[in-house]
């Protein structure tokens, strides 16, 4: 029986409805416990309410079924028995990769007239080349991410006390404890306790938060890193001690360009035994598949081409970062860069790390309509900001260029470069001026 509380996440509903109109296979992917099952239930409720007379909704959660007994043929037969002629059918399948021969079942169901299919999964293997929609490029991937800062404010029960026209960084809030909070206070809680929806307001103290995060981490590693490979007959994880070492090193290196070779050298120092680069590569690939980490590959700005060497890896939630590394004051700016990366993904940008000769541009964000160069400082020193600005000024095109930083008023410099306050950006602020 489902026991979670449905909290609306309208950003994702809008994305799903937009793709439904185009009749694509929709793949909602993201970290375990980031709220995908709640999204599936919210979508089910909305579809039933909106199209009660003209459509039917079939939803299955395969983590609540004895998956050893479920095959693709079982799913097809289940669909046939419930399909109502003359009505549009919305089929919502949660964690379907547990089903044997699931791709064939999805191909069959999606191929039926008037049938729209939405898959929810915590593993990237859902984007399977055996799906007809993937082969024909008739699919859409929606990244279901942990809470944004505005969502965190809402989920944690903060109520704004200042007038609606108050500048973002001057807003004040209260919650059930009666204390007054600035936006920076709330951001500090956001970074400390993370944005997983399972982190309820009453859990926001160090001891209870650790218990919740411990359970989330264990579920992610056990179900999506270790077990999913076994379900699909391609597990590459055989050394859980090495796996934990790789996760810790990647978390500590958020914001740095690293490679599998470098990571292997670090694990060898820590474990006092070597591991092959191929082994480390397979472990990193499994962590990406499970959405515990996301990658920003390097891009040569002058040569206008992607690079195969080095990459940046960002951890899906700050609570998981702290769980494996401990809370460290020196990570404040690493975690800001981490949050900026995920805010860009949330806004449907493809994100790369930029190389400009021997210099770096923290992030390059692009989609079909826009492109921007973004610098995130590694500390609060004025010379750090000036260095980042100097690098941006060397880029010879007219796309927007900006620095996103704490404790800076949002302003446009004389040469058109935007200084954007980090809290304003994370609250949904635009770089369009």
Number of residues that this document lists for the chain: 433
Q: What does the pLDDT look like over 262-302, one tens digit per residue?
A: 999 999 999 999 999 999 999 999 999 999 999 999 999 99
143: phi then psi, degrees, rounded to nearest 5: -85, 115
Model confidence band, residue 230 (pLDDT cutoffs 50, 70, 90): very low
In degrees to the nearest 10, what's the CA dihedral of 379, 384, 389, 391? -110
Domains and CATH numbers, the chain: 10-143 (3.40.50.300), 149-207 (no CATH), 214-426 (no CATH)
Look over the chain and give the mean of its residue pLDDT values, rounded to a whole number. Answer: 92
> Which secondary structure element, helix H or strand E, spans residue 173, and what is its range?
strand 172-174
Q: What is the mean pLDDT of residues 344-350?
A: 96
User: What pLDDT is attached to residue 231?
Assistant: 43
The tens digit of pLDDT for each residue in 173-222 reads 999 888 999 999 999 999 999 999 988 887 678 888 889 999 999 999 98
Say if CB 143 and CB 29 are below 8 A apart.
yes
Q: Which of 126, 117, 127 is nearest to 59 (CA)?
A: 117
Stated pTM of the model: 0.93
Instruction: With cut-offs at 50, 70 and 90, classify the pLDDT of residue 233.
Output: very low
Cα 28 from Cα 121, distance rounded (Å): 6
Rounded Cα distance between 385 and 418, Å, is 12
Residue 1 has pLDDT above 50, yes or no: no
In this prediction, residue 2 carries a pLDDT of 46
DSSP assignment string, 160-215: E-S-TTS-GGG-EEE-TT--EEEHHHHHHHHHHH-S-TT--GGG-SHHHHHHHHHH
Nearest to 198, CA basis, from 220, 223, 181: 220
């Amino acid at each position: 029986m489902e026991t979670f509380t449905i909290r609306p996440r309208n950003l994702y509903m809008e994305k799903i409805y937009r793709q439904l109109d185009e009749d694509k296979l929709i793949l909602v992917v993201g970290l375990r416990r980031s709220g995908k099952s709640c999204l599936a239930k919210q979508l089910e409720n909305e579809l039933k309410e909106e199209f009660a007379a003209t459509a039917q909704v079939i939803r299955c959660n395969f983590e609540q079924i004895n998956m050893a007994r479920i095959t693709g043929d079982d799913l097809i037969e289940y669909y046939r028995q419930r399909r109502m002629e003359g009505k549009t059918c919305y089929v919502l399948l949660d964690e379907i990769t547990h089903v044997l021969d699931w791709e064939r079942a999805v191909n069959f169901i999606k191929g039926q007239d008037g049938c729209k299919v939405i898959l929810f999964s915590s593993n990237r293997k859902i984007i399977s080349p055996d799906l007809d929609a993937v082969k024909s490029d008739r699919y859409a991937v929606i990244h279901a991410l942990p809470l944004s800062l505005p969502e965190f404010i809402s989920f944690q029960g903060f109520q704004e006390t200042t007038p609606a026209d108050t500048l973002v960084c001057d807003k004040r809030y209260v919650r059930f404890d009666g204390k007054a909070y600035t936006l920076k206070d709330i951001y500090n809680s956001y970074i400390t306790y993370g944005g997983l929806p399972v982190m309820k307001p009453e859990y926001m103290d160090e001891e209870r938060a650790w218990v919740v995060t411990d359970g989330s981490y264990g579920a992610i590693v056990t179900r999506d890193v270790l077990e999913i490979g076994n379900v699909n007959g391609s597990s590459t994880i055989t050394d859980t001690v090495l796996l934990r070492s790789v996760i810790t090193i990647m978390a500590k290196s958020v914001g740095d360009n690293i490679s599998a070779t470098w990571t292997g050298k670090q694990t060898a120092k820590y474990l006092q035994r070597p591991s092959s680069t191929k082994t480390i590569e397979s472990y990193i690939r499994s962590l990406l598949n499970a959405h515990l980490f996301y990658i920003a590959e390097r891009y040569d700005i002058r040569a206008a081409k992607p690079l195969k060497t080095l990459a940046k890896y960002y951890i899906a939630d700050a609570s998981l970062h702290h769980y494996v590394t401990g809370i460290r004051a020196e990570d404040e700016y690493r975690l800001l860069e981490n949050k900026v990366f995920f805010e860009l993904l949330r806004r449907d940008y493809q994100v790369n790390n930029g190389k400009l000769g021997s210099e770096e541009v923290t992030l390059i964000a692009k989609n079909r309509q826009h492109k921007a160069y973004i610098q995130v400082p590694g500390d609060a020193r004025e010379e750090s900001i000036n260095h980042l600005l100097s690098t941006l000024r060397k880029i010879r095109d007219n796309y927007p260029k900006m620095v996103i930083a704490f404790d800076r008023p949002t302003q446009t410099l004389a040469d058109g470069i935007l200084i954007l306050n980090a809290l304003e950006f994370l609250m949904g602020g635009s770089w369009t001026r």
